[in-house]
Amino acid sequence: MKKGTLLNVCLALLFLCCNQPKTGDENLLNRQNINTFSIIIHGGAGTILKKNMTAEKEAAYKAKLEEAIRTGFDILKNGGSSLDAVEKTINIMEDSPLFNAGKGAVFTHDEANEHDASIMDGKTLNAGASAGTTMVKNPINLARAVMEKSPHVMLSGTGADTFAEEHGLSIVTPDYFYNERRFKSLQSIKDKEKTELDHDTKVSFYDDDIKNSKFGTVGCVALDKNGNLAAGTSTGGMTNKRWGRIGDSPIIGAGTYANNNTCAVSSTGWGEYFIRAMVAYDISALMEYKGMSLKAAAHEVIQNKLTRLGGAGGIVAIDKDGNMVSEFNTTGMYRATMNEKGEMNVEIYKED
């Protein structure tokens, strides 16, 4: 074969090799360069109707949602981790009386505030959670401390409060959590219970007032520039809850789940049903085992499985490619998204 012909053949082969579709790690890198990072949050789902919302209240919710998501976005934009973005974003909502978490937590039957929270790292599948705490200013910080500074996944009650003190977390007195609006809601429910008892009628713990008073959980999921997912959830639980009731928010797989191979999810809603359906994990499992997209999996779990059980609420989620989904079967859910381009959406109602 002549030298010129051989050279042409080599050049042709080189051209073909350089233009072959990328596979394996190269595809993963390519995806991450396209979808570098994203973040989505929720501030609770439930009977949220525009006709019942004043312009001032709507503006206040939207402003706080925007403040929260921008906090996480800035962390991600500057190369920070998804765990940091989730924690700091949730801190903003925990410090606001607007949401049923941290400072805005609802009251138990015994007129106390008890907090639950969880966080999960999609890279390692490590997780941390706390339940029934009464002194920790930011429960999501405690959940992360449990994940990173203990051999356990969940701590509860006075033990969790003690762990928080020993690890230097911000501790407050119970009056920090006092919220007049939340306290009046509790009294209204207790008065209704007393009236029904006085008339010898059956009292249902899940009456309409209580059903609509427990959807204020806050949550955040994020994908960082390194391709790592994280999810976190924080709540004050259910108004008038008794006997140390714990909902789905601190339960890994129900209220929170993250896995770099699939997605990250944070839930909000009627916790008992989210626990029974293992909502957050089920979305991930449908993606992993059935090859469903995040959008399809979230729709199947929330609109079909959860609804058939009788549960109400919703989720926010991000998949490993940065696609974001908010899915709920209630009339509204406080929510916001931001992508790597800085494009932001803040929404409240189902029709948004």
Catalytic residue numbers? 217
Q: Which residues of 80-91 are buried (b: 16+ CB within 10 A; e: fewer)?
A: bbbbbbbbbbbb
Sign of the alpha-carbon torsion through 244, 248, 253, 255: negative
For residue 217, the 8-state DSSP code is -
Bridge partners of 82, per DSSP, are: none
**What is the rounded CA–CA span in Å between residue 238 and residue 235?**
9
Bridge-partner residues for 40, per DSSP?
A: 221, 337
DSSP string, 229-287: EEEEEEE---TT--TT---STTSBTTTEEE-TTSEEEEEEE-HHHHHHHTHHHHHHHHH
Around Cβ 238, how many Cβ atoms within 10 Å? 26
The per-residue b/e assignment along 260-295, b for 16 or more CB within 10 angstroms, e otherwise, is bebbbbbbbbbbbbbbebbbbbbbbbbbeeeebebe
Distance, CA of 77 to CA of 184 (rounded, Å): 41
Question: What gap in Å lies between CA 274 and CA 269, rounded to an integer?
Answer: 7
CB count within 10 Å of CB 22 equals: 11
107 bridge partner residues: none
CA dist., res. 215 & res. 266, Å (int): 13
